[in-house]
Amino acid sequence: MPFANLLLRARSRKIWRDPVRTVLTLESFSRTEADGGKDIGSAAGKVADDELRGHLRRHTADELRHAELFRTRAAQLRSTLDLPTGTGSEAEDSAYDLSRGRPAAEVDAHGFFTSGLLDELGEVAYVAMLHAAEKRAAQLFTVHRDLTRHDPETCAVFEEILRDEQYHVAYTRTILEKWSNNGRASEVAAAKSGARGGHFWSAWKRTGIRSGAAFSRGVLHVLYLTLLLPFGLFARRGAVEQGWADIESDASSGNSSKPLRSQY
């Protein structure tokens, strides 16, 4: 198993053991699939290749159906937990959000180029990016299917979606191979390299964001333990007790003055 999948499995295991995070994660996946469907549907109306257009239209229907599957399962689980709509951001931050750390100006939450970039880059680059994204999605959903075997209904959702993901990977590969065999090999190779490089760069950015946050927390802990905490303890030890003096104890110490009867 690739090392990245091992990390994903370790990171995601606790999500599916927490009912609240399970619901929020399924809802996140639903939004992701809906975004992907809209993007691919837009691309389907602009490509010149008839065969590709037919695949993209079927792909669009698949993505929207996946969004509904995730949404329905999330709603079922949410009803059993009696969770209010729009649970707090603290829980939502714990969900597996596919869009976290990705450059919004370049790709959508699913990792696809936006329709504007399709016009700019052309069909080959778009399909290469789509192929790479679907391969990652298939790996992702395979891991989550394995982690939800204790929940047969949720596992069945991933099983159904994985069948479609295999088709998505296969048709994008076929289209790229067709173009490569038709004299566009260098263009296809460059597009594939760009898709892999874009994924690496996005992953590097996400790693930087997470490691930067962890480093900041570490520095704050060190500062607290080495500066603030010792200073606070030292200040408490040197503090002078303040308040009203005890008249009786003052008299017992040898002071023969009469007890006070008034302020003056």
Tokens of 153: 């209904």
Tell me if 205 sits within 8 A of 103, measured CB to CB: yes
Is the per-residue pLDDT at 20 higher than 50?
A: yes
Is the per-residue pLDDT at 176 higher than 70?
A: yes
Is the per-residue pLDDT at 190 higher than 80?
A: yes
Higher pLDDT, 49 or 74: 74
Q: What was the pLDDT predicted at 243?
A: 56
Cα 201 from Cα 197, distance rounded (Å): 6
Q: What was the pLDDT predicted at 74?
A: 96
Is pTM beyond 0.85? Reply is no
Q: What was the pLDDT predicted at 196?
A: 77
Q: What was the pLDDT predicted at 58?
A: 97
Task: Look at phi and psi of residue 101 and say left if phi exceeds 0, alpha if psi is from -120 to 50, else beta.
Answer: left
Confidence of residue 11 (pLDDT cuts 50, 70, 90): confident
Is the per-residue pLDDT at 163 higher than 50?
A: yes
Region 104-131 average pLDDT: 66
Q: Per-residue DSSP letters for 93-148? A: HHS--TTTT--TTTB-TTSPBPHHHHHHH-HHHHHHHHHHHHHHHHHHHHHHHHHT
Residue 202: Cβ-neighbour burial (10 angstroms; 0-12, 13-18, 19+): middle
**Residues forming beta bridges with residue 107, ordered by sequence position:** 113
Q: Tell which residue, 100, 177, 85, has the closest CA to residue 131.
A: 177
Tell me if 158 sits within 8 A of 141, measured CB to CB: yes
Is the per-residue pLDDT at 10 higher than 60?
A: yes
Is the per-residue pLDDT at 103 higher than 50?
A: no
Confidence of residue 83 (pLDDT cuts 50, 70, 90): low
CATH superfamily of 3-222: Ferritin, core subunit, four-helix bundle (1.20.1260.10)
Q: What was the pLDDT predicted at 22?
A: 95
Is the per-residue pLDDT at 95 higher than 80?
A: no
* Single-letter residue type at 42: S
Is the per-residue pLDDT at 203 higher than 60?
A: no
Confidence of residue 213 (pLDDT cuts 50, 70, 90): low
Q: Per-residue DSSP letters for 3-19? A: HHHHHHHHHHTTGGGSH
